Amino acid sequence: MRDISTVSTAVRHRHAGGPLAGRVAVVTGAARGIGAALARNLSDAGMSVALLGREEASLRATAGALPNPSLCVEADVTDDAALRAAARQVQEALGPASVVAANAGIAVGGPFDRTSADLWQRVIDVNLTGSANTARAFLPQLTRTRGYFLQVASTAALGSSPMMSAYCASKAGVESFALALRGEVEPDGVAVGIAYVHWTGTDMISGLDELPVLRALRRHQPRFARRVRSPEQVAAWLADGITRRSRSVYAPPWLRWCQPLRPLFPAIVAHIARRELRTPARGELTAQATVLGAGGLADWNARNAPGDRGH
């Protein structure tokens, strides 16, 4: 963690009422996309928000536009010590957290055997281990406030897609982690929710069209399921789930009806993938795996900067 933490002093307004007003929220992966939009939603609901992420300039820009006090901390969620330090800073600057959204995530697209071991592991480290580190660092505060932990997962947890092995494994893992954590912390008054997020217009999906198998999987979805939602719309659904302390948050809401159909998804995906990989798209199996999106690239570049050890 680099010490760039700042507390915004520009307070435009506060919400006098509402269940979230006057409380403290922490959002990881808050530099862009869903994380930045969720920070704005929670601040608009009257919360003081701590934004954690890897991109200093983007964090500052997002925090500076929030209507309520905010804390900006550049931290790597794979660094347990850095997250513990960030938790202390949040408590000292804003107070104990009542809401923590484990949103930080990266993705890699490409065949498994063309993905370097370091890159595959980095996806697991950020998405899965980073979520566990976030929970570990902030659970003492959530226990004190009887708060709410939101684990941002994905429809990748419902069915794994070829060319996205690390991402799908990590999202299935965070779902399982959150379910296990829920049973442990409920007696302490801490609620745990899982957000299932579908196609969202972040830079992470901008590279998916370069992967024919993933393009085919999306093409075979019903028209309504192919729709790409804005980060702002997805964040609004997540914020509503946080307000309700929901056990499951679906973005978009129709995803709740997919849960009973989960046993069918692996066979459907396998059928489409087998057919697609018999076509010229098979050539993608010889392509090198790539990091998807500017946020993922920022994390990977920071991780591999000369003299940098990931924090």
Residues catalogued as catalytic: 167
Number of neighbouring beta carbons within 10 Å of residue 35? 29
b/e 131-157 (16+ beta carbons within 10 angstroms → b): bbbbbebbbebbeebebbbbbbbbbbb
Neighbours of 224 (CB within 10 A): 8
Question: What is the rounded distance in angstroms from the CA atom of residue 167 to the CA atom of residue 55?
Answer: 21
Closest CA to 135 of 104, 170, 101: 101
Long-range pairs of 252-260 with CB within 8 A, sequence gap ≥ 24: 252/198, 252/227, 254/224, 255/155, 255/196, 255/198, 258/155, 258/158, 259/158
Q: In terms of C-beta density within 10 A (0-12 exposed, 13-18 middle, 19 or more buried), how is residue 309 classed?
A: exposed
Q: At what angle do helices 130-145 and 80-93 cross, to 10 degrees?
A: 30
